[in-house]
A = this chain, B = another copy of it.
Amino acid sequence: MSSTIKVLLAEDQSMVREALAALLGLEDDIEVVAQVARGDEVLAAAREHGVDVALLDIEMPGCTGIEAAARVRRELPGVKLVVLTTFGRPGYLRSAMEAGADAFLVKDAPAAQLADAVRKVLSGERVIDPTLAAAALAEGANPLTDREREVLRAAADGSTNAELARTLHLSQGTVRNYLSTAIQKLTARNRTEAAHIAQKKGWL
């Protein structure tokens, strides 16, 4: 009966990923058995290497760490999931927990918390920042629909309604409607402010 914890590390920035692996490699009871740089490679790698814990960055190509978490939770329910992110946005925490994450860590946290979290989730604990949890609960769920988020994201580069309509295969009237509903829901005064608010809350 081995006591080594097998960890998968998913993070798109090579240098950060390999550095985190070096950090975890200093722990006697933890072994990084797989590293991937894309969200859509997480499930296959977790399955192939029979990992105990998957550490997932949120921003990744292929699919986000949150989507990857949901897939692993569905297909490999025994694997524990730690979501690791640069941005401690309340909306991210909420989405991660809804996707079945066991822990949510920000990269601002002391490095020792990483190995700690790996051990804790394995023993059935949940690890989240209490302040962030309170903020996520106070703010409620993301009020935006998928379509409203899509239009708001696309509008962030200053595209006109006509361009948005073309890019998103929608009519200009529909684009206008989505934007004005999103602006209303976020009590913003314009599309730029709406996109800014949604991004800060982790709702985009």
Beyond A19-B19, A22-B23, is A110–B158 a contact (Cβ under 8 Å)?
Answer: no
- Determine if A196 and B14 form an interchain contact, defined as CB atoms under 8 angstroms apart: no
- Determine if B158 and A196 form an interchain contact, defined as CB atoms under 8 angstroms apart: yes
**Copies of the chain in the assembly:** 2
> Which range holds the interface residue count of chain A?
35 or more
- Determine if B15 and A109 form an interchain contact, defined as CB atoms under 8 angstroms apart: yes
The stretch of A65-73, A124-132, A143-151, A184-192 in contact with B is A184-192
- Determine if B13 and A23 form an interchain contact, defined as CB atoms under 8 angstroms apart: no
A92-122 CB mask vs B (1 if < 8 Å, else 0) is 0000000000000111111101100000000
Name which of A12, A18, A160, A195 has the most chain B CB atoms within 10 A of its CB. Answer: A18
The residues of B that contact A13 with a CB separation of less than 8 Å are 86, 107-108
Name which of A106, A158, A195 has the most chain B CB atoms within 10 A of its CB. Answer: A158
